[in-house]
Chains A and B, each alone.
Chain A
């Protein structure tokens, strides 16, 4: 967007044009007569060049001013009550500055004279006004902009102080007017301007109090009890849940400097604003122009306050904007996205390099005491394994467990006594095939077996499916099979099973 500069010789003509062009002209009333009382006197600052402010919908920000001199800037803001999506399946009647939540972004320069027109749409139920924190004067303009439905008000102020300021409706009951969406930001650039940034975005947080619970569908009405108790059902960025996600995410390219003009409308909650995966290189704290803090993780922005946040995006990915009071982000909607595209920089951020099993207590790490304990536990296990009495008991236990496993699955085909079904299911009792290769037996249980085999001289051609047993269960059931019905083929340990399972992968 262009900044409109008006040379002095054109200014007078423009003023005439505006005055003569009827209802659509921003600087004039729709009709003269009793409906448009003009309490003011002569025009203010007629010597300044006149321009009409460019207003933008969030997340967009008007272009930098660029001017090196003051101007008289006309701001036209329409107040409108609109029913819009608050969350999926949830509608809400928002009261807005410009049909949008947050209200349209206003950008002027320190020293500018701002002629402000507040137009309250005829369909509005409520009278409204505007309190701009950038205004020095009673009510921040509210006292001069109280406007009935179907009327408009005008007042003029000089932007004395540079900074990022909240504006809001200040009509009673003001918590309801603000919760319903009546807030926005006005940036008063310092005379020397702001340093350039590649991307400028506009994000505002607000808390909403619906009579229905969070995500209860339908058109929701305001709940003044929840508001009084400061128990919001929604905490959102830019007026609705999901306003900055998916297709609507903020965009940037690797290497760009992103600047966020962040404000909190409230009415009640202070934001712990944070961008996951980024560090704010610079923060103009509280929206002021003198103090710039560096390397900030989370910045606190009060209700009715603001902050300017700037960071260079060095690596690609999706960065999440949150209120780090995280129930608000997780449950109530205070979540947005910044999508950064461009080449990876693995030196700055590698992505996942290793994903492997972590064995907890068995890991080598730990204190000297726990290392010593592990050694003693191992010694004890070794001593027990060498003790024939304990070893026999261990084998007996294993056989009992193995029998249970056998009776839960294997017996269906191999039958209870391991005799099999001649020509269909091979026998296990007295099986030369089983006796010949213990490891093959383990692999058969783990992976199944299909195709022709010969057992005890007889051909079999069938399918055995893989068994969903743990390593212990495989060891137990094979040990049982190899030591039952007259078999004495030795035993299988779960370590052997584990090794073969891994080798087979």
Chain B
């Protein structure tokens, strides 16, 4: 590479870093709503894509909850919206295990701390909560873009020790009682617990690999299996990303899972 071009690239890179840092440090307009952090604009490189899909998806700046939604917050939601209480929820919108660890419709009980992330909620319920809160669920591209940051840089993949850290969550089984949300070390953008507490619903979870109910109708889903899972994948070393994609494609919108919660997002209108 000619040296002047080299210099230009370096300057550009520096400018990007500075502007990202400025956006974060000064809370450049508009500021993040309370309890949320701004995820600056960037790109998301889909893990697995078909030939027709772009290599990189632009992600506009948006606001993301600093931590997952807690049991206390979800309790307030079901108080305000009785149709989402356990005994009243439509079986079309939540499987029988919905909020099964709570002791009652509006009681958490001893095994469910108020500060822990809410789990055993369906995609429908998570979406209803987000709408009630004046927010929405993050899209896959948004969530993955936020989670691609390390602790000290915007690119966790090149941050020493960070890829290994991202695997340690899988070395521990889900505890009987989940710890409180919001205690994890904040990442570069200030978001906590993205990789170390619970799985999280995303708005378009069902576009991960599955195009419809009928399995194998497009061949997309099958690419996840065995060695074939590598075909068409971008970053073959990003095992946590594979696992998130795997989890999302195993779900249906009514499913509830004991370690699957969610957090909300908001678009930022300039």
- Seen from chain A, the residues whose Cβ lies within 8 Å of a Cβ on chain B are 31, 33-35, 37, 39, 81-83, 92-93, 122-127, 129, 131, 138-139, 142-144, 146-151, 170-174, 176, 211, 219-225, 228
> Do A82 and B167 touch across chains, with their CB atoms under 8 A apart?
no
Determine the chain B residues whose CB is within 8 A of the CB of A223 once the complex forms: 164, 167
Residue of B with least CB distance to A219: B171
Partner of A143, one of B173, B216, B250: B216
Partner of B226, one of A122, A125, A170: A170
Distance in angstroms from A455 CB to nearest chain B CB is 80
Against A, the Cβ 8 Å flags (1 = close, 0 = not) of B111-135 are 0000000000000000000000000
Residue B224 at the A interface, CB < 8 A?
yes
**Bound-state Cα–Cα, A5 to B95, Å:** 37
Distance in angstroms from A399 CB to nearest chain B CB is 71
**Bound-state Cα–Cα, A222 to B247, Å:** 18
Partner of B259, one of A31, A35, A125, A170: A125
Residue B12 at the A interface, CB < 8 A?
no
> Do A150 and B256 touch across chains, with their CB atoms under 8 A apart?
yes
* Further 19 A-B residue pairs, CB within 8 A, beyond A39-B215, A221-B171: A33-B91, A35-B255, A39-B213, A93-B172, A123-B258, A125-B199, A125-B259, A127-B247, A127-B249, A139-B225, A139-B226, A170-B229, A171-B224, A172-B230, A173-B229, A211-B164, A222-B170, A224-B239, A228-B236
Against A, the Cβ 8 Å flags (1 = close, 0 = not) of B251-270 are 11011111110000000000
Determine the chain A residues whose CB is within 8 A of the CB of B42 once the complex forms: none
Determine the chain B residues whose CB is within 8 A of the CB of A39 once the complex forms: 213, 215
Pair count A-B, CB < 8 A: 140
Determine the chain A residues whose CB is within 8 A of the CB of B170 once the complex forms: 93, 125-126, 176, 221-222
Partner of B255, one of A123, A148, A170: A148
Determine the chain B residues whose CB is within 8 A of the CB of A143 once the complex forms: 215-216, 221-222, 225
**Bound-state Cα–Cα, A220 to B172, Å:** 9
> Do A131 and B226 touch across chains, with their CB atoms under 8 A apart?
yes
**28 intermolecular pairs with C-beta atoms under 8 Å apart:** A33-B91, A33-B95, A34-B91, A34-B95, A34-B254, A35-B95, A39-B215, A93-B173, A123-B173, A123-B258, A127-B247, A127-B251, A139-B222, A146-B221, A146-B224, A148-B247, A148-B257, A149-B259, A150-B255, A170-B225, A172-B242, A172-B246, A173-B239, A174-B226, A176-B170, A176-B239, A222-B170, A228-B237
> Do A35 and B97 touch across chains, with their CB atoms under 8 A apart?
yes
Determine the chain A residues whose CB is within 8 A of the CB of B243 once the complex forms: 126, 172-173, 176
Determine the chain A residues whose CB is within 8 A of the CB of B251 once the complex forms: 127, 148
Distance in angstroms from A82 CB to nearest chain B CB is 7
Distance in angstroms from B162 CB to nearest chain A CB is 13
Residue B92 at the A interface, CB < 8 A?
yes
> Do B173 and A150 touch across chains, with their CB atoms under 8 A apart?
no
**Bound-state Cα–Cα, A150 to B199, Å:** 14
Contact A224 to B163, CB < 8 A, known contacts A83-B173, A143-B215: yes
Determine the chain B residues whose CB is within 8 A of the CB of A222 once the complex forms: 167, 170-171, 239
> Do A221 and B167 touch across chains, with their CB atoms under 8 A apart?
yes
Determine the chain A residues whose CB is within 8 A of the CB of B172 once the complex forms: 83, 93, 219
**Bound-state Cα–Cα, A362 to B246, Å:** 71
Distance in angstroms from B122 CB to nearest chain A CB is 10
Residue of A with least CB distance to B260: A149
Determine the chain B residues whose CB is within 8 A of the CB of A123 once the complex forms: 173-174, 258-259
Residue B194 at the A interface, CB < 8 A?
no
**Bound-state Cα–Cα, A462 to B227, Å:** 85
Residue B4 at the A interface, CB < 8 A?
no
> Do B167 and A127 touch across chains, with their CB atoms under 8 A apart?
no
> Do B225 and A81 touch across chains, with their CB atoms under 8 A apart?
no
Determine the chain A residues whose CB is within 8 A of the CB of B92 once the complex forms: 34
> Do A33 and B96 touch across chains, with their CB atoms under 8 A apart?
yes
Residue B168 at the A interface, CB < 8 A?
yes
> Do A174 and B247 touch across chains, with their CB atoms under 8 A apart?
no
**Bound-state Cα–Cα, A318 to B75, Å:** 63
Q: Most chain-A Cβ atoms within 10 A of its Cβ — which of B236, B237, B243?
A: B243
Residue of A with least CB distance to B222: A143
Determine the chain A residues whose CB is within 8 A of the CB of B258 once the complex forms: 122-123, 149-150
Contact A221 to B225, CB < 8 A, known contacts A31-B96, A83-B173: no
Determine the chain A residues whose CB is within 8 A of the CB of B226 once the complex forms: 131, 139, 142, 170, 174
**Bound-state Cα–Cα, A220 to B168, Å:** 8
Residue B245 at the A interface, CB < 8 A?
yes
Determine the chain B residues whose CB is within 8 A of the CB of A146 once the complex forms: 215, 221, 224, 249-250
Against A, the Cβ 8 Å flags (1 = close, 0 = not) of B156-196 are 00000001100111111110000000000000000000000
Determine the chain B residues whose CB is within 8 A of the CB of A35 once the complex forms: 91, 95-97, 254-255
Distance in angstroms from B94 CB to nearest chain A CB is 8
Distance in angstroms from B160 CB to nearest chain A CB is 12
Determine the chain A residues whose CB is within 8 A of the CB of B167 once the complex forms: 211, 221-224
Distance in angstroms from A434 CB to nearest chain B CB is 77
> Do B229 and A172 touch across chains, with their CB atoms under 8 A apart?
yes
**Bound-state Cα–Cα, A39 to B214, Å:** 9
Determine the chain A residues whose CB is within 8 A of the CB of B173 once the complex forms: 81-83, 93, 123, 125
Distance in angstroms from B91 CB to nearest chain A CB is 5
Distance in angstroms from A124 CB to nearest chain B CB is 8
Distance in angstroms from B190 CB to nearest chain A CB is 25
**Bound-state Cα–Cα, A150 to B255, Å:** 9
> Do B216 and A138 touch across chains, with their CB atoms under 8 A apart?
yes
**Bound-state Cα–Cα, A93 to B172, Å:** 6
Residue of B with least CB distance to A220: B171
**Bound-state Cα–Cα, A124 to B260, Å:** 11
Distance in angstroms from B229 CB to nearest chain A CB is 3
**Bound-state Cα–Cα, A428 to B257, Å:** 95
Residue of B with least CB distance to A168: B226
Residue of B with least CB distance to A176: B239
Determine the chain B residues whose CB is within 8 A of the CB of A225 once the complex forms: 163-164, 237
Distance in angstroms from B117 CB to nearest chain A CB is 14
